[in-house]
Amino acid sequence: MKSVQLTRGAAPVLCVHGFLGEPDDWRLFAHALGPAFGVSAWALPGHGGTPVDDFVDGVRALQRALRAMPAPPHLVGYSMGGRLALAAAVDANVSLASLTIISASPGLKTGLERDTRARADDRLADDLERQGLEAFVRTWYSQPLFASLERRPALLHDLLSRRARGTASDRANALRALTVGRQPSLWEHLPMLNTRSLFIAGANDSKYCATLARVAGLCPRARLLRVPDAGHLPHLERPDFVCASVREFLQP
């Protein structure tokens, strides 16, 4: 499985989920956008998508999916999927109608930072394979990054249940290949990104609010949306607010 068609409409939209996610994460979002948009969801490598060797290979796989769309699409990416989407978008050979990035960064600026993070994520991947997916998912969502989910027990329960499906080795391999520690820094490319762009962060996610404010300031045609009462998963924590905001942004 590479992508799933969620809705049909004239304007193509391609959505990319995050680590441990699945194309179905975008189903509510797709229907909320309305009949003008034909929404597809691309499966990340290790999550039903084609296996890849490294981050650059993952970007190329996404770019092939973008070029296969019937017209230049609106590209939407979250977290790990947002990093791939941003990397695909800064390539001048990729034509997009717009770019929406949720809770994702352009990467780490120094080789030392990248090496440190790559080693840390390799250890996480080892833990994932050793613990099994169900135990790892519980640990993953107990991180301070996801603290806002404590106020949304139904969403947290749903995530723990759905994220436990899959194969631990596949998820671990995706983490090793697509870690931000092995992602080339995109910061220097941002001033050349001429695609109309929307960067979204939960207002309670201070790290990504600050990062994406800097990103939006560097891109010529970008703006930042802070989602009230949301953390690192704003499109799932405040789906009505985010869907309405993105729908307004995508309107020609």
Question: Would you give per-residue pLDDT tens digits along the chain (252 residues)?
Answer: 578 999 999 999 999 999 999 999 999 999 999 999 999 999 999 999 888 999 999 999 999 999 999 999 999 999 999 999 999 999 988 999 999 999 999 999 999 999 999 999 999 999 999 999 999 999 999 999 999 999 999 999 999 999 999 999 999 999 999 999 999 999 999 999 999 999 999 999 999 999 999 999 999 999 999 999 999 999 999 999 999 999 999 986
Which contacts (CB < 8 Å, 24+ apart) does range 128-137 have? 128/168, 128/171, 128/172, 128/175, 129/168, 129/169, 129/172, 131/168, 132/168, 133/163, 133/164, 133/165, 133/166, 133/167, 133/168, 133/171, 134/164, 136/168, 136/171, 137/20, 137/163, 137/164
Amino acid identity, position 62: L
Q: What is the pLDDT of residue 13?
A: 98
pTM more than 0.85: yes
Alpha carbons 45 and 64: distance in angstroms, whole number = 13
The residues of the chain that CATH labels 3.40.50.1820 are 3-107+183-250
Q: What number of CA atoms fall less than 13 Å from residue 2's CA on the CB side?
A: 12
240, burial (CB in 10 Å: exposed 0-12, middle 13-18, buried 19+) = exposed
On whether the CB atoms of residues 244 and 155 are closer than 8 A, the answer is no
Alpha carbons 120 and 174: distance in angstroms, whole number = 14
Alpha carbons 213 and 225: distance in angstroms, whole number = 9
Q: What is the pLDDT of residue 1?
A: 54
Q: What is the pLDDT of residue 93?
A: 86
192, burial (CB in 10 Å: exposed 0-12, middle 13-18, buried 19+) = exposed
CATH topology of domain 3-107+183-250: Rossmann fold (3.40.50)
Q: What is the pLDDT of residue 72?
A: 96
On whether the CB atoms of residues 32 and 247 are closer than 8 A, the answer is yes
Amino acid identity, position 182: R
Q: What is the pLDDT of residue 85?
A: 98
